[in-house]
Structure 1
Amino acid sequence: MARKGRKRKNDNTKLLYLAFIIVVIIAAGYTQKDTIMSSVSNADVKDNQHNSDLLKVGSFNIQVFGQSKSAKADVMNVLSDIIRTYDIIAVQEIRDSSGTALDNLIKQVNSDGSSYAYLVSERLGRTSSKEQYAYVYNTRTVSPVGTAFTYPQTSDIFHRTPYIASFKSNEGIFNATFAVIHTDPDDAANEIKALYEVAEYAKGVLPADEPVIVMGDYNADGRYFDETSYVPLKSENYIWIIGNEVDTTVASGDNTYDRIVSTKPNIFYTGDAGAFRFDEVYNLTHEFAAEVSDHYPVYVFFKKDA
């Protein structure tokens, strides 16, 4: 009988130990999730409070941004934090026939007292999978000038016609026109060549001293485009602010799909530009970062005054 009692006691001890291990594993999972969300809400304070004499401008392919992605609270928190670090950010790959995803994102951005607004294009594309561009901007630092419009192309070379808008700083003399593009991967080389015409068109309708910046997901690398090849946009009158050395992909590769190109001279350009590696800044796992996007946003700092 004594032996049976000891065995029953040992069995109970093993069950209690197993239950304890399960509780620890579950708790660890919640702790990791809480840590991620905490880091998202508190990270990158320095970048949110960049020099008040500068404007942070950039581009972000959010990768199939629609109702499904906008329903993920943790992803929306990260996207909101990213946007708040910018004064102007050109968004690509908005795929939402309901037109609610972007509006929900901006409401989330402004939920902390920020004051962001947006300009959005019509739905563009040759297939049933239409996309929109948007310029999201901080109303406390910049204002749109005139009316945004799609490039009036005559040759139908762009699958998603570039979307053009002008902005000025609320303080200082910064004034520039932007064209955002998401090239079709299978026709990237031809579309990148044609971006020169877009920039020259914008230059022709603007005062001569105002820079034109063409930015977005060019698909300008890898199997889509030979980044060493010459295109008209690489003439001496332009500067590729995001060069071939910058990795703009969240994936394991090092491709520079996303670009910022400016006319020269650009008296506002500081020389400070790159990819905003939000996974490192916010201490995210690779798996979670990939839920946010497969692209890093790119950025450049411009002076408000020359």
Structure 2
Amino acid sequence: MRSSFLLLLTFLLGVTDIQAGSDFRVCAFNTQHFGESKSQKSDVMQTLVKIITRCDVCLLQEVRDSKGKALKLLLEHLKRYDTKHEYKAVASERLGRSETYQEQYVFVYRTDTVTVADQYQYPDDKPGDIDAFSREPFVVRFRAPKTAIKEFVLIPQHTTPANTTKELDALYDVLQHVKKMWKTENVMLLGDFNAGCGYLAKKNRKRVRLITDQNLFWLIQENTDTTVRSSTSCSYDRIVVNGETFHRAILPSSAKPFNFQVEYRLTEEQVTALLVSDHYPVEVLLKVVDSRGLDGGTSITSGNQFIALFVLSHVAFQILTR
């Protein structure tokens, strides 16, 4: 009987631990002026590292690291904090129309769950675009064999608030170009689209093909607040997937902002959430497959974990009191 109990214990403990190892998380985070100055603030870096290590792939925006020191330091912090995974980064060139203000798109990823298959910097002088973007998308194709989708393309965009409508519509052209170039339909667009409040007027939505195309799925809903400040409630940051195949590979209802302010008990006044960023990251889970090629989803819900633990404790009590 005791040997049977030990077998049951091993099984149930394994089951309740499945969720932590089975998720594949894609994130996008506007890090708000991340550069050498911010990288020297230990409390801020600690929070950034906690956020990024939740993700298999994390897009960072507003990286203003002209000397390359901040990104290098971030990777060192990631290595020290999470010893179970190795992290690498792939970054765009510095982008922006102004010489005094430029940003990079940076993808930080876990090397044991995903690899970079290709990358492409969308040009700022493509015929017909009339320089649509202030920061042209840096497009990366990833391979993730444990996911149901296996391979996918990420198109990041941090729009200029004053030009949101035009840039979001132009993203549709980028999407078509990338699909044709790499012969794939598995494309996700993500980032700080400024697609909320006054930057994207309702009357302008019908002019944005990224919104009107029925083959595109906006996963972060219109009334979702992705901002840290209590005085704002705007759906700036978004995740959009192309096509039914990719949409089916997304875990339902998993797309959401990650409220690190609540999760890590930060305030606007102390180690302040606003020192980290004025945006929450947005994230989505891709379905995973087990060794047999079956859809694993998140494998088990928190409710089932509770049931498993309840059964475990009940059996333990029965056996140990005999």
Shorter-chain TM band: 0.7 to 0.9
How many Å separate the matches in 2 of 1:289 and 1:117? 25
Q: One-letter code of the match for 2:187?
A: V
What is the CA-CA distance between 1:227 and the residue it aligns to? Answer: 5.2
User: In structure 2, the residue corresponding to 1:130 is in which secondary structure?
Assistant: strand
Q: Could you tell me whether the CA contact under 8 Å between 1:69 and 1:75 is conserved in 2?
A: yes
Equivalent of residue 184 in structure 1, options 141, 151, 160: 160
1:50-129 correspondence to structure 2 within 5 Å = 50-112=19-81, 113=83, 114-127=85-98, 128-129=100-101
How many Å separate the matches in 1 of 2:19 and 2:34? 27
User: Residue 311 of structure 2 corresponds to which residue in structure 1?
Assistant: none
How many Å separate the matches in 1 of 2:112 and 2:237? 27
Q: One-letter code of the match for 2:274?
A: A
Equivalent of residue 137 in structure 2, options 162, 168, 175: 162
Assess, with a 3 A threshold, how the Cα gap between structure 1 residues 260 and 49 changes in structure 2: closer, same or farther.
farther
What is the CA-CA distance between 1:53 and the residue it aligns to? Answer: 3.5
How many Å separate the matches in 2 of 1:172 and 1:249? 30
Assess, with a 3 A threshold, how the Cα gap between structure 1 residues 168 and 50 changes in structure 2: closer, same or farther.
farther
TM-score (norm 2): 0.76
| Greater CA drift, 218-227 or 64-73 | 218-227
Q: One-letter code of the match for 2:30?
A: N
What is the CA-CA distance between 1:104 and the residue it aligns to? Answer: 0.6
Structure 1 residue 233 corresponds to structure 2 residue 210? yes
How many Å separate the matches in 1 of 2:229 and 2:165? 22
Listed one character per residue, the Cα deviations across residues 142-164 of structure 1 (whole Å, up to 9, x for unaligned) are 11112x22113512110000110
What is the CA-CA distance between 1:206 and the residue it aligns to? Answer: 2.8
User: Residue 12 of structure 2 corresponds to which residue in structure 1?
Assistant: none
User: In structure 1, the residue corresponding to 2:67 is in which secondary structure?
Assistant: coil
How many Å separate the matches in 2 of 1:178 and 1:165? 6
TM-score (norm 1): 0.80
User: Residue 237 of structure 2 corresponds to which residue in structure 1?
Assistant: 258
Listed one character per residue, the Cα deviations across residues 110-142 of structure 1 (whole Å, up to 9, x for unaligned) are 113131110001000001211001000011111
Listed one character per residue, the Cα deviations across residues 12-43 of structure 1 (whole Å, up to 9, x for unaligned) are xxxxxxxxxxxxxxxxxxxxxxxxxxxxxxxx
User: Residue 140 of structure 1 corresponds to which residue in structure 2?
Assistant: 112
Instruction: Give the RMSD, CA atoms, in angstroms.
Output: 1.7
Listed one character per residue, the Cα deviations across residues 41-91 of structure 1 (whole Å, up to 9, x for unaligned) are xxxxxxx98543331001000000011100000000000000000000111
Equivalent of residue 102 in structure 2, options 108, 113, 130: 130
How many Å separate the matches in 2 of 1:189 and 1:131? 20
Q: Could you tell me whether the CA contact under 8 Å between 1:193 and 1:232 is conserved in 2?
A: yes
Structure 1: where are the runs of 5+ without partners? 1-47
User: Residue 286 of structure 1 corresponds to which residue in structure 2?
Assistant: 268
Assess, with a 3 A threshold, how the Cα gap between structure 1 residues 177 and 284 changes in structure 2: closer, same or farther.
same
Q: One-letter code of the match for 1:97?
A: S
User: In structure 2, the residue corresponding to 1:187 is in which secondary structure?
Assistant: helix
Structure 2: where are the runs of 5+ without partners? 1-16, 290-294, 296-322
Report sequence identity in percent.
Answer: 37
User: In structure 2, the residue corresponding to 1:62 is in which secondary structure?
Assistant: strand
Q: Could you tell me whether the CA contact under 8 Å between 1:143 and 1:170 is conserved in 2?
A: no
Assess, with a 3 A threshold, how the Cα gap between structure 1 residues 51 and 227 changes in structure 2: closer, same or farther.
farther
Q: One-letter code of the match for 2:275?
A: E
Q: One-letter code of the match for 1:232?
A: R
Equivalent of residue 121 in structure 2, options 150, 164, 181: 150
How many Å separate the matches in 1 of 2:216 and 2:32? 28
Q: Could you tell me whether the CA contact under 8 Å between 1:237 and 1:264 is conserved in 2?
A: yes
User: Residue 172 of structure 2 corresponds to which residue in structure 1?
Assistant: 196
Higher Cα Rg, which structure? 1
How many Å separate the matches in 2 of 1:248 and 1:49? 29
Q: One-letter code of the match for 1:131?
A: E
How many Å separate the matches in 2 of 1:72 and 1:219? 27
Q: Could you tell me whether the CA contact under 8 Å between 2:122 and 2:139 is conserved in 1?
A: yes
What is the CA-CA distance between 1:299 and the residue it aligns to? Answer: 0.2
Equivalent of residue 242 in structure 1, options 220, 229, 243: 220
